[in-house]
Amino acid sequence: MRLTLLLLLSLTTFAAEKKYTFRDFSPTRYIDGPRLTPAMQKDKGTLMFFWAYELESPSGGDSLKFFQKIADDHKEDLVVIGIENLGIDGSPKNITTLLKKTGVTCTIYSGCRAPFKISLYPYICAFDREGKLIYSGNPKAADLAEAIAKAVAKPEKKDGKEDPKKDDKDKPKIDPKKGA
């Protein structure tokens, strides 16, 4: 009985530690900015921030401006995507008006199918260059800076050697001492 209970507990703990990737998140309705494509994210980190129109409109879009600054500062190595996630007053027209008023030009969607519930705004999900989720939460400034640094970091080479090109991986290895 104890063994069964421990086994069941270990299986549920293992399931709770699932590692998410960008593919587990699916933005739903495109609003504004560059359309999200795989080519846009190639060899870049991704920062997805969830926000609510109802919280941004009265403040003049302060957090939207903040994330736009991050997008501008890291345009070479980070894709910034805003997800308006509450949707009560956040109609596409209202959102577009707020974006123009605040000067936000990064990619904005309304709604997202996420693998977990998001109810605190702004909420951040940072993905590394391989699309793996490396941070999620409502960050403090130091946490956000660290998440961005991890997201834009280039992958380390294994054993200090460069990875062989894809074409070289497929070719059979030839020992130079034995000849061709």
pLDDT above 70 (res 8): no
Produce one character per residue of 133-166: b if its CB has 16 or more CB atoms within 10 Å, e if not: bbbbeebeeeebeebbeebbeeeeeeeeeeeeee
pLDDT digits (tens, 9 = 90+) for 24-83: 999 999 999 999 888 898 999 999 999 999 888 787 889 999 999 999 999 999 999 999
Tell me which of 24 and 4 has the higher pLDDT: 24
Q: Cβ(50)–Cβ(122) under 8 Å?
A: yes
Residue 128 has pLDDT above 90, yes or no: yes
pLDDT attached to residue 141: 85
